[in-house]
Structure 1
Amino acid sequence: MKKSLLGTLTALSLTAGVAAHAEAEHTLVFSSWVPPTHNINAQMLPKMIEMIEEATDGRVTGEVRLGIAPPPAQMDLVLDGAVDVAYVFHGYQPGRFTSYKLVELPGVDTTAEAASVAYWNLFQEHLAELNEHRGVKVIGLHTHGPGQLHTNTKIAGLADMAGLKLRMPGGVAGDVGAALGATGIQVPAPKVYETLASNTADGVMMTIDSRQGFRLTEVAPNYFEIPGGFFRGSFAYIMNEDAFADLPDDLQEALEEKVFGEPISRMSGAVWDAGDAFSIQLTKDTDGNTITQASAEDIASFASIIDDVTASVVKEVSAKGIDGDAALASFRSELGVE
């Protein structure tokens, strides 16, 4: 019991990001579930807190606490008021969220920054009416860069994926993996390293920056990429509604105008793009790591999988009560993709 209590207190005491200004009137408590060195903790959340401080002249700041709860519990932490702000990965909670799948679809070769801005606009124009985040305030949305394949043994092409046991994060990644003949293993991102180290899985479908953020260069030295990725994961920043309402009107207005929405969505995507570039170089510089690019034949055969998964997702989203085709067309039009 003492050991458990000590672990809990240690997790609660871990903070990242910008130290609270001495003159701050309000401190927002952020929850984060990735490792301390991950770009979310090292750059993204600190930058968000900087933006909050600048927008409010230092009257509002933030404090990041690590390891309070696992990824699927983040929404409930905010709903219950245990923390003020958190970020959720939609694919970890199938059934609770559906519309996010539109932005996860493969076949869109763009930056995370551009995709994140387009995602926020898509939410405003089409997805918000579904009220999938009921009970909390959505303050930003972003995607990561293209999700690619990381394995413990080198694969030459898509055909080699059949029969592999792959950790997949749910959502579109699971649909794509199944279409390629892989067996999906759902493991939260913080457990990926030990899952691969124990050979429980042959590889993972994850973001490029995970090669650094989750130390995949050590346990999945072989990296396989296809243009646009196999999927593009979806995140939401959410805030407790009472915590926002408790702020004075002028501070609410400052945050809405200068931080929430497109500003933090754009910033988050840009941080992810930089992290992807760093991880590609890290892979090139790490002994024993390999990079394999999909062949023209693989790209052509993957196109039919994209079509099938897209049709399935559009149907699923449309069943929730919006025009899935129109929503997807809006998102892709902003990105210059037909």
Structure 2
Amino acid sequence: MEPGRRLAGLLASAAAAIWTAGAALAQDYTFKLHHFLPATSPTQTETLDPWARAVEARSGGRVRIEIYPSMTLGGRPPELVTQARDGVVDLIWVVNGYTPGLFPRTEVMELPNVYVNDPGAANLALADLFETDLKDDYKGLEVMFLHVHAGNGIALRGPEVHAPADLAGRKMRIPSRTGAWVLEALGAVPVAMPVPDLPQALQKGVVDGALVPFEIVPALKLQDQTDRLIEGDRNTRFGTTTFQLSMNKARWDSLPPEIQTAFREASGPEWLAELGRIWRGTEETGVAITTAAGKAHQVLSPAETEAFRTALEPVVDRWIEDADSRGIDGAGLVARARAAVAAHSSR
């Protein structure tokens, strides 16, 4: 190489190194976001990554969010809330139901016949209810946003299902205690486990199926383990699951107002509505992969859907009774949740 070209190359390399160092210095705040699903899951690629980049952009480059999937920082999914509260990590994304009893008020949105089939409306309703009804569930945490998935459908081995009686005695994985109540009301046997454990449980015959959103099909290859996906008429589901993306409260309180604003702006109503559209869209991908593998996508008739709705209404009553025993106005919270969902569904 000619001396002049070699010098130019060295200068370019030095300039790049200086720019990189400057960029690193510009990132005044680095956060570790820990979650339990694979890096290839729609949760990371279509939810966590876009949200993190939006926060970074709104901070003017002063924030960097590093995402750690598949529990790579250690522990099990049920430990994520404790990790955030104790400051082991800065941010978590987790299923509320993995730590039963910690988020009793927020469970209202998981209930069948409260949540039906509109994740965007449910997300916005959760935001509406947060300050007045839900905030006490989140001591030691600063919630960035709450959301639901598109709803619990059924992934199952075996023949078609047309009535609750067709699930009697079937062992099924559940994501939360409200999911367990759904299965009990349908005569099935609930088996609690984090969703990453589901493929092995199906392989070993520990369960016959699961309550899951269909977006999880490709990440867990459920098309290889089950015979069908089942949902109600017009995408009606059998309840849903609530999630939180939360920060350690002390870390949040240490941030200057402009950095807090970057997080808040990236987590507002527009994002919550978009999140609903994203999660609804990923359901279609799960169904397409299942049918391409030669498995069934079974949609219940309106009459069959109504029979399931009737069978599941006692789950709501059971939750109200449990909430009342905790000093929570269960009936009032159900009514407010239904009203908030309806208000956003009409937009």
Which bin holds the TM-score, normalised by the shorter protein? 0.7 to 0.9
Is 1:241 the equivalent of 2:249? yes
Which residue in the other structure is 2:279 paired with? Answer: 272
Q: Distance in 1 between matches of 2:225 and 2:67?
A: 28
Deviations 1:81-126 (A, max 9, x none): 1110002212122222211221011124332122111112122232
- Aligned-residue Cα RMSD (Å) equals 2.0
Is 1:141 the equivalent of 2:146? yes
Q: Distance in 2 between matches of 1:187 and 1:222?
A: 20
Q: Distance in 2 between matches of 1:336 and 1:96?
A: 27
- One of 105, 109, 115 as aligned partner of 1:103: 109
Q: Distance in 1 between matches of 2:299 and 2:257?
A: 52
Which deviates more from structure 2 when the two are superposed, residues 214-223 or residues 321-330? 321-330
Q: Distance in 2 between matches of 1:53 and 1:242?
A: 20
Deviations 1:292-319 (A, max 9, x none): 1223443232232232111111222233
Q: For residues 152-231 of structure 1, what are the structure 2 equivalents within 5 Å?
A: 152-158=157-163, 159-227=165-233, 228-231=236-239
- One of 35, 40, 43 as aligned partner of 2:38: 35
Aligned to 1:247, what secondary structure does the other structure show?
A: coil
Deviations 1:259-318 (A, max 9, x none): 23545533433321121122122222222x101122344323223223211111122223
Deviations 1:182-238 (A, max 9, x none): 111111111111111222211111111121232211111311112421111011111
Q: Which has the higher helix share?
A: 2
Structure 1: runs of 5+ lacking an equivalent: 1-20
- Return the TM-score normalized by structure 1: 0.87
Q: For residues 1-338 of structure 1, what are the structure 2 equivalents within 5 Å?
A: 22=24, 23-66=26-69, 67=71, 68=73, 69-107=75-113, 108-128=115-135, 131-158=136-163, 159-227=165-233, 228-256=236-264, 258-287=265-294, 289-336=295-342
Q: Is the 8 A contact 1:105 1:306 kept in 2?
A: no
Q: Is the 8 A contact 1:126 1:322 kept in 2?
A: no
Aligned to 1:132, what secondary structure does the other structure show?
A: helix
Q: Distance in 1 between matches of 2:258 and 2:303?
A: 57
1:194 maps to a residue whose letter is Q
Aligned to 2:34, what secondary structure does the other structure show?
A: strand
- Return the TM-score normalized by structure 2: 0.85
Q: Distance in 1 between matches of 2:149 and 2:296?
A: 22
Aligned to 1:35, what secondary structure does the other structure show?
A: coil
Q: Is the 8 A contact 1:90 1:234 kept in 2?
A: yes
